[in-house]
Amino acid sequence: MLVTGFAVRSAFGAGEDALLDGGFGGAAAFGPVDRFGVLRCRTSVAATLPGAPVLADELAAVVEEACAMAGLPRLGVDRVRAASPLLLAAHAGRETVDTATEVAARTGFRRPDRVYTAACVAASSAVADAAASIAAGRVDRAVVAAGFLVDAGTFGLFDSGRALARDGVVRPFSAGRQGILLGDAVAAVVLEAVGTPATPLARLAGWGRAGDAYHVCQPRPDGTGLARAATAALDRAGLPAAAVGYVNANGTGTPASDAAESAALRLLFGAGLDRVPVSSTKSVHGHALEASALLELVITVLAVRAGRLPVNAGWLAADPGCPLDLVLDEPRPARPEYALSLNAAFGGANTALLVGAA
Amino acid sequence: MTAPELVDRLLLPVPSGAGEDAAIVLAKAQWPDSDADTLTPVAGFVLSTFSPLVAEVAERCLRARYGEPPAVPEHAGSTALVLASARGDMTTNEAARDTAEAGGRVPPLLFYQSNPNAVLGWIAARWELDGPVLSIAPTGEDPLADGQHVAGLLMADGEAAEVLVIAAELDPDRAEAVLLGSHRKAGLIVPTATEGQR
Are A161 and A243 members of one domain? Answer: no
Highest mean pLDDT pick, A68-82, A194-208, A268-282, B13-27: A268-282
Mean of the pLDDT values across residues A256-272? 98
Torsion of CA A59, A63, A69, A74, to 10 degrees: -140
Between CA A81 and CA A190 the distance in angstroms is 11
The pLDDT assigned to A25 comes to: 97
Q: Label residue B30 exposed, middle or buried (CB < 10 Å: 0-12, 13-18, 19+).
A: middle
Domain assignment of residue B192, yes or no: no
The two beta strands, A185-192 and A202-211, are unpaired
Are A135 and A86 members of one domain? Answer: yes
Nearest to A92 among B116, B139, B146 (CB): B116
Give Cβ neighbours of residue B156 (< 8 Å, ≥ 6 apart). A132, A136, B14, B15, B18, B20
By C-alpha distance, the chain B residue nearest A225 is B130
Residue A111 CA: distances (Å) to CA of A89, A154, B142: 14, 27, 15
Domain assignment of residue B180, yes or no: yes
**A170-190 pLDDT tens trace:** 999 999 999 999 999 999 999
Our CA-based measurement puts residue B153 at a distance from the nearest CA of chain A, in whole angstroms, of 7
The pLDDT assigned to A285 comes to: 98
Are A126 and A212 members of one domain? Answer: no
| Mean pLDDT rounded to a whole number for chain A | 96
Domain assignment of residue B84, yes or no: yes
% of chain A beyond a pLDDT of 90: 92
The two beta strands, B162-169 and B79-84, are parallel
Between CA B118 and CA B112 the distance in angstroms is 6
Domain assignment of residue A180, yes or no: no
pLDDT greater at residue A110 or residue A223: A223
Domain assignment of residue A348, yes or no: yes
Kindly report the CATH number assigned to the domain that includes residue B40. Answer: 3.40.47.10
The pLDDT assigned to B1 comes to: 39
Is the pLDDT at A309 greater than 60? The verdict is: yes
Domain assignment of residue B191, yes or no: no
**A115-147 pLDDT tens trace:** 999 999 999 999 999 999 999 998 999 999 999
**Amino acid identity of B103?**
G
Are A94 and A19 members of one domain? Answer: yes
Mean of the pLDDT values across residues A297-310? 98
The pLDDT assigned to A76 comes to: 59
Are A111 and A18 members of one domain? Answer: yes
State whether residue A35 sits within 8 Å of chain B by CB: no
**Amino acid identity of A136?**
A
SS3 A357: strand
Per-residue three-class SS string for chain B: CCCCCCCEEEECCCCCCCCCCEEEEEEEEEECCCCCCCCCCCCCCCCCCHHHHHHHHHHHHHHHHHCCCCCCHHHHCCEEEEEECCCCCHHHHHHHHHHHHCCCCCCCCHHHHCCCHHHHHHHHHHHCCCCCEEEEEECCCCHHHHHHHHHHHHHHCCCCCEEEEEEEECCCCEEEEEEEEEHHHHCCCCCCCCHHHC
Provide the domain count of chain B: 1
Left (φ > 0), alpha (ψ -120 to 50) or beta: where does A262 sit? alpha
Domain that holds residue B49: 8-186
Give Cβ neighbours of residue A133 (< 8 Å, ≥ 6 apart). A85, A139, A142, B15, B153
B-contacting residues in A 161-190 (Cβ below 8 Å): 161-163
Kindly report the CATH number assigned to the domain that includes residue A74. Answer: 3.40.47.10
Is the pLDDT at A202 greater than 60? The verdict is: yes
* Weakest-pLDDT range from A2-11, A14-23, B9-18: B9-18
Provide the domain count of chain A: 2
Are A207 and A161 members of one domain? Answer: no
C-beta atoms of B112 and A160 within 8 A: no
SS3 A343: strand
Are A42 and A131 members of one domain? Answer: yes
Question: Is B6 in contact with B24 (CB distance < 8 Å)?
Answer: yes
The two beta strands, A277-279 and A13-14, are unpaired
DSSP A253-277: S-HHHHHHHHHHHHHHHGGGGGGSE
C-beta atoms of A212 and B121 within 8 A: yes
Query: Sorting pLDDT into bands at 50, 70 and 90, what band is B183?
Result: low
State whether residue A148 sits within 8 Å of chain B by CB: no
A-contacting residues in B 51-80 (Cβ below 8 Å): 76, 80
Question: Helices A55-70 and A96-107: crossing angle, nearest 10°?
Answer: 40
Write b or e for each residue in A150-165: b if 16 or more Cβ atoms lie within 10 A of its Cβ, otherwise e: bbbbbbbbbbbbebbb
Our CA-based measurement puts residue B8 at a distance from the nearest CA of chain A, in whole angstroms, of 25
The pLDDT assigned to A221 comes to: 98
ipTM, two decimals, is 0.96
Domain assignment of residue B88, yes or no: yes
Question: Is A145 in contact with A62 (CB distance < 8 Å)?
Answer: yes
Between CA B77 and CA B160 the distance in angstroms is 8
Domain that holds residue A344: 203-357
Write b or e for each residue in A176-194: b if 16 or more Cβ atoms lie within 10 A of its Cβ, otherwise e: ebbbbbbbbbbbbbbbbbe
The pLDDT assigned to B17 comes to: 37
Is the pLDDT at A352 greater than 70? The verdict is: yes
Domain assignment of residue A171, yes or no: no
